[in-house]
């Protein structure tokens, strides 16, 4: 029997590898193209002369999310606009005939995060844009956005993204006009998305520890998270948390993957937040030497609601101190649900 020709085998392997690579590329990402348009009703009475997109990727990029093909294969869906974002802003949101000051824009960040659920899908738009006086090239300030909109799953993905862009465009053009008229200097705090001058806040990294306790319980929380620049007076954050807690008959450690914080900025120094935590963990019974417990009693379920006021300077790194009230509910199988109320004190450092 003759031996196989090594050349033929090599060519076959190369073709097979090329075919597999092509198939793999097909599964890696699909492109969803959005035809972005803004109605004339939201066109700004300000001229945008030039837009520089400082992002390091495709200037048409809007979003990326994962979708299952045939309910099994995860495939990235890359969402892009039909033309570069810089061109969209100049051609559709600018009014060159206006007598108001003209601006040059630098896009530092622009993306939309898509989070689906059973009946509705959340679209969170992040944007950070520098403003310069087109005539003098002097820095006017920067605009920051964190806008969340919820869309029904009955509408198409393309329509949902387009509506999200249009909602942002309406706020952006209104803010741009307000900046041109100096509204932020006339009415302090009226433009929560705008920072005048050379201030450009980056996102902050938080390290936080919180101590809490009541009449018959106490505990400590530890958490790490990144926080985007505040784009509005009210904003939401999601963090991860680990909790250690002591009760009269049990001690437990629990984890929370998606702890929600609803924040309200009182002024540049003070922040109020309402935190909801749902945690799962394991416990250690203190009476193990005298009482027999079943294996499933090791599971610990905990939910808490905390209202807190914090000394937290806007756009500045440093120490963050807070005090508040905590309502804590925990449940262990075969035992009654227990409610505790206490006070909390938190200390964080914002990098």
Indicate the domain borders of the chain. Answer: 28-196, 204-350
- Which tops the pLDDT comparison, 155 or 12? 155
Which SS3 state, helix, strand or coil, does residue 13 take? helix
Residue 333 has pLDDT above 70, yes or no: yes
Cα 214 to Cα 23, 245, 246, distances in angstroms? 60, 11, 11
Residue 118 has pLDDT above 50, yes or no: yes
Q: To the nearest whole number, what is the mean pLDDT of the chain?
A: 87
Q: What tokens appear for 53 in the block?
A: 């997109």
Q: What tokens appear for 235 in the block?
A: 């904003």
Cα 320 to Cα 31, 78, 95, 207, 270, distances in angstroms? 43, 38, 43, 10, 10
- Which pLDDT does position 298 carry in this prediction? 92
Mean pLDDT of 305-326: 95
β-strand 29-34 against 73-81: which pairing, if any?
parallel
Give pLDDT tens digits for 25-79.
444 568 889 999 999 888 878 899 999 999 998 999 999 988 777 656 778 889 9
Question: 105, 58, 77, 277: which is closest to 161 by C-alpha?
Answer: 77
Alpha-helical segments (H) within the chain: 6-28, 85-92, 157-180, 183-186
Give pLDDT tens digits for 167-185.
999 999 999 999 988 888 8
Mean pLDDT of 112-121: 89
| Whether 46 contacts 95, CB under 8 Å | yes
Residue 9 has pLDDT above 90, yes or no: no
Its pTM stands at 0.77
Give pLDDT tens digits for 266-307.
998 999 999 999 999 999 998 877 778 888 899 999 999 999
Q: What tokens appear for 154 in the block?
A: 């009955």
Other beta carbons within 10 angstroms of residue 118's beta carbon come to 6
Residue 65 CA to chain centroid, in angstroms?
Answer: 14
- Percent share of the chain, pLDDT over 90: 60
Residue 127 has pLDDT above 90, yes or no: yes
Query: What radius of gyration do the chain's Cα atoms show?
Result: 27
Mean pLDDT of 215-223: 95
Residue 20 has pLDDT above 50, yes or no: no
Which CATH number describes the domain made up of 204-350?
Answer: 2.40.160.20
| Per-residue confidence band for 4, with pLDDT thresholds at 50, 70 and 90 | low
- Cα angle 279, 282, 288 (rounded to 5 degrees) comes to 145
What is the distance between the alpha carbons of residues 281 and 256, in angstroms, rounded to a whole number? 9
| Per-residue confidence band for 191, with pLDDT thresholds at 50, 70 and 90 | confident
Residue 81 has pLDDT above 80, yes or no: yes
- Which pLDDT does position 29 carry in this prediction? 63
**208-211 LR contacts (CB < 8 Å, sep 24+):** 208/320, 208/346, 208/347, 208/348, 208/349, 209/346, 209/347, 209/348, 210/322, 210/344, 210/345, 210/346, 210/347, 211/344, 211/345, 211/346
| Whether 332 contacts 297, CB under 8 Å | yes
| Whether 252 contacts 289, CB under 8 Å | no
Question: 184, 201, 212: which is closest to 307 by C-alpha?
Answer: 212
- Which pLDDT does position 79 carry in this prediction? 94
CATH topology of domain 28-196: Double Stranded RNA Binding Domain (3.30.160)
- Which pLDDT does position 80 carry in this prediction? 94
Which SS3 state, helix, strand or coil, does residue 39 take? coil
Q: What tokens appear for 300 in the block?
A: 């610990």
- Which pLDDT does position 71 carry in this prediction? 59
Mean pLDDT of 239-257: 95
């Amino acid at each position: 029997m003759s031996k196989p020709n090594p050349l033929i085998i090599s060519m076959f392997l190369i073709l097979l590898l090329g075919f597999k690579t092509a198939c793999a590329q097909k599964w890696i990402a699909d492109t969803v193209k959005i035809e972005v348009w803004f109605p004339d009703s939201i066109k700004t009475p300000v001229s945008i002369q030039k837009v520089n997109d400082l992002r390091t990727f495709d200037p048409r990029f809007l979003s990326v999310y994962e979708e299952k093909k045939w309910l099994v294969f995860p495939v990235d869906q890359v969402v892009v606009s039909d033309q570069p974002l810089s061109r969209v802003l100049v051609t559709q949101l600018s009014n060159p005939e206006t007598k108001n000051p003209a601006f040059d824009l630098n896009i530092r960040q622009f993306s939309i995060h898509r989070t689906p659920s059973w009946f509705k899908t959340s679209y969170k738009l992040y944007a950070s844009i520098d403003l310069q006086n087109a005539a003098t090239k002097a820095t006017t300030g920067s605009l920051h956005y964190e806008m969340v909109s919820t869309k029904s799953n009955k509408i198409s993905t393309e329509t949902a993204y387009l509506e999200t862009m249009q909602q942002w465009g309406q706020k952006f053009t209104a803010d741009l006009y307000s900046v041109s008229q100096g509204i932020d200097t006339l009415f302090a705090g009226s433009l929560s998305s705008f920072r005048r001058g050379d201030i450009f806040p980056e996102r902050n990294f938080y390290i936080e520890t919180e101590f809490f306790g009541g009449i018959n319980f106490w505990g400590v929380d530890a958490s790490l998270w990144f926080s985007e620049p505040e784009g509005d007076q009210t904003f939401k954050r999601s963090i991860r948390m680990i909790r250690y807690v002591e009760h009269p008959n049990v001690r437990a450690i629990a984890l929370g993957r998606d702890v929600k914080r609803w924040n309200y900025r009182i002024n540049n120094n003070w922040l109020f937040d309402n935190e909801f935590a749902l945690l799962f963990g394991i416990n250690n019974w203190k009476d193990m030497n005298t009482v027999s417990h079943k294996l499933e009693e090791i599971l610990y379920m905990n939910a808490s609601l905390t209202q807190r006021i914090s000394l937290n300077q806007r756009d500045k790194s440093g120490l963050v101190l807070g005090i508040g009230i905590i309502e804590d509910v925990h449940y262990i199988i075969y035992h009654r649900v227990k409610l505790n109320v206490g006070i909390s004190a938190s200390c964080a450092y914002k990098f």
